Structure 1
Amino acid sequence: MTTTSTGKLSRSGEPLGDFFVKNNNVSEAFHFDQGIYSRGISFYEVIKVQDKVPLFAEDHIERLIRSASGRNVTSIPPANLIMDNIKLLIDVNSEYGDGNIRVVLHCDVDCISPPHIYSYFIPHYYPAATEYQKGVHLITVNAERLDVHCKIIDMNFRVSIAARIRQENAMEALLVTEEGFVTEGSKSNFFAIKDELVVTPPEKDVLPGITRKYILEICNREGIAYEERKIHSGDLNGFSSCFITGTSPGVLPVRSIDNRVYSPVHPLLRMLSSKYARVVKDYSEYYRQGNTLSADS
C-alpha cells in the first residue's frame, strides 16, 4: 500500500495513476503487464518525485545504464531518451506531484534485442516526522545479493525480505553475509557513527546508493571524518548512532538494531541530515531551471 508523507497508508495497486509510459508511448495503467518480470531480465531504478521534480534523475539513469552494461546488454537506450520517458510520465499523471516512480530497462533472456523503457508510479512509504525524530527499528537477516552492483528486479528476494520485516515490525532489514559482515539494507545503505567518525561498508560490497553518494560528498566538503570499511555484526555494539539512506527516506535515524539501542539525535547525524536536505533543494532549483537531459542533449 502507498503512504503519504505522514506515514499513513493509502490505496494500493501498481502501477499507480492513470497511465504508464513504455518507450515514450503513453498507455492506460490497467494495460500494464506485470508478467514481464517473469520473462527476461529487468534492470530498474526507483526515483522520488517531489513537487514534480524527479530527484537526482541523472544519477539514477547513469546507474541504470551501468547495471544493464554490466550484463552485456546491447543497444541500451541513451540517457536522454530515458529522461524523456520519466518527464512524460510525470506530465500525464498530473495528480502525482509527489511519489515514487520505477524506471525499468526490460530485455529478453538473451539480452540481444534492444531493451524496452518502462516508467510508472509505484506504492511508496515516506517515514513520518516522529520516525525522523525518534529513529526506526531495524533487524538483521542472513542474506546477500548475487550482484550488488547490478540492480535487477528479483521478486523472490523482495518478497522474502519484506515478510521478515513485517514479521518483526521493523522499518528495514540489514543484510549480513555468511562471514557475519553487515553490507546494506534491503532497500537502503547503512551508516554508523562512533564518536565523530562516520563509518559505512565499502562500495565494492554494496549497491552504491545515490543518497549514499551525496552523504559522502557532504563529508568531504565539510571535513567530516569517515571510513569505508567492513562492519562485522559484532561491531554494531560499539557505535553510538546509526542511520540508513535511500530514495524514499533520505537520511533516517535508527533507534535500534535487533536488541541494540542507539541515539537518534547525534549532532553529526542531524548535521548530515540538514546538509542533505539542502542538496535536495539545490537539485530541485537546478531542475526547474531546465538543466536536465533532453532529447536535444
Structure 2
Amino acid sequence: MIGKYCSLNGKLTKTKKAVLPIDHIEFAYGFGVYENLRMRKGFVYHIEEHIKRLFDSAKIIDLNHDLDFKQVKNWVEKLIEKNNIKNGNIKMILIGGKKPILYIFMLPPKYIEKKEYRQGIKVTTYNYERFAPQAKALNMLPSYIIFKRAQKENAYDALLIDRDGNIIEGTRSNFFAIKNKTLTTPPLSEVLDGVTRRTVIECAKQNGYNIKEENIPLKNIFDYDGAFLTNTSGKIMPVKTIDEKSFDIIPDNLQTLRKLYDNHISHKE
C-alpha cells in the first residue's frame, strides 16, 4: 500500500486506522466485489468503466448499496489529491452487509519487464470454472491457489480450462489468440468483461482487425500465430509458452497490435 490515506465510504482516513471488525461475516465469506485501476502521471485509465463494472459485479451477486457513479468518482479523485501521488494502482473494495463499505486505497505501480513483451511470458493450465465469472468478486480462493501454483513453475499466470477443454481466461487476465488479422477470444458469457479486453477489441476494430468470440480448445491453440493475455497492469502480454510447449516466435502481427494499443490509450490521457 502507498499513501498515508485511504477512503472509507468517502471519508479520508489514515490507512493504519482503516480496519474491519474481526466478526465482519460478509468480508470473512468474501461477499464483496473489487476493481483495480491504473494511474500514470496523475491520469486514471478507464475510471468510468471500472466504476460501472464495480456496480455491475455487485448486482450480479445481489450486493445492494446506495452508492452512485459521480460520488465514487469524486472519492477516487479526492484520495489521489490527498495522497499527492502520480503513479500507482488504485483498488476499490465494496463489501456487502446491512451497511455496505467501500474502501479505496492506493498500491505501488506494477510494471512488466520489457523483455517479457519482446520474448513473451509463460503460462500454465488448470481445469477450473469460476462461479459467476462475470463478477469481479472477493471469493478468489481457488484462483489464488491456482495462481500461486503457476508462480512456483515460474509462470506469469495460469489459464483456466473448462470441462470441454476450452481455454476460458487467466486467473487475473483475459485471453486472446491471433491469426493474421483476426483476434479470437472466449465468449463474454463465460468470462469477466475485462476493461482492457474491451479496449483491445475497440482498438483492434479501429485498425482493421476482425474479432471472433468463440471457444478456443486448448488442443488447437498452436494452430494460431500466437496468443496474449490482457489486464490493467500488463496491458497486452504476448504468450510464448503454455505448460511445456511454446510458440516458435512472438509474431509480428501481435507486436504490431501491442504498439497500436499503447498508442490508442496514450491518446486518452
The answer to whether TM tops 0.5 is: yes
- Looking at structure 2, the residues matched to 273 and 179 of structure 1 have their Cα atoms a distance apart, in angstroms, of 30
- Looking at structure 1, the residues matched to 109 and 221 of structure 2 have their Cα atoms a distance apart, in angstroms, of 29
- Aligned residue for 2:267, secondary structure, equals helix
Specify which of 240, 257, 275 is matched with residue 242 of structure 2. Answer: 257
Note if contact 1:254-1:263 (Cα within 8 Å) is conserved in structure 2.
no
Note if contact 2:175-2:228 (Cα within 8 Å) is conserved in structure 1.
yes
Q: Does 1:27 align with 2:13?
A: yes
Q: Which amino acid aligns with 1:106?
A: I
- Looking at structure 2, the residues matched to 155 and 73 of structure 1 have their Cα atoms a distance apart, in angstroms, of 17
Distance 1:39 1:175, change over 3 A: closer
1:264 positional shift: 5.4
Across the aligned residues of Structure 1 and Structure 2, the Cα RMSD in angstroms comes to: 1.8
- Give the match for residue 235 of structure 1: 220
Specify which of 72, 77, 84 is matched with residue 67 of structure 2. Answer: 77
Q: TM-score, normalised by structure 2?
A: 0.92
- Give the match for residue 8 of structure 1: none
- Looking at structure 1, the residues matched to 2 and 140 of structure 2 have their Cα atoms a distance apart, in angstroms, of 19
For these two proteins, the number of residue pairs brought into alignment is: 265
1:198 positional shift: 1.5
- Give the match for residue 104 of structure 1: 93
1:122 positional shift: 2.9
Q: Which amino acid aligns with 2:235?
A: G
- Give the match for residue 185 of structure 1: 170
Distance 1:39 1:140, change over 3 A: closer
- Looking at structure 1, the residues matched to 114 and 30 of structure 2 have their Cα atoms a distance apart, in angstroms, of 40
Note if contact 1:49-1:101 (Cα within 8 Å) is conserved in structure 2.
yes
- Looking at structure 2, the residues matched to 228 and 41 of structure 1 have their Cα atoms a distance apart, in angstroms, of 30
Note if contact 1:46-1:100 (Cα within 8 Å) is conserved in structure 2.
yes
Specify which of 58, 63, 66 is matched with residue 68 of structure 1. Answer: 58
1:281 positional shift: 1.3
- Give the match for residue 287 of structure 1: none
1:130 positional shift: 0.9
1:38 positional shift: 1.1
Of 67-76 and 174-183, deviating more is 67-76
Unaligned runs of 5+ in 1: 1-14, 285-297
Of 176-185 and 34-43, deviating more is 34-43
Specify which of 190, 211, 223 is matched with residue 226 of structure 1. Answer: 211
Percent identical across equivalent pairs? Answer: 28
- Give the match for residue 93 of structure 1: 83
> Once the two structures are superposed, what CA deviation does each residue of 1:98-130 show, in whole Å capped at 9, x if it has no partner?
12111122111xxxx352221012355321111
Q: TM-score, normalised by structure 1?
A: 0.83
- Looking at structure 2, the residues matched to 42 and 224 of structure 1 have their Cα atoms a distance apart, in angstroms, of 37
- Looking at structure 2, the residues matched to 186 and 70 of structure 1 have their Cα atoms a distance apart, in angstroms, of 19
Q: Which amino acid aligns with 1:67?
A: S
Q: Which amino acid aligns with 1:251?
A: I
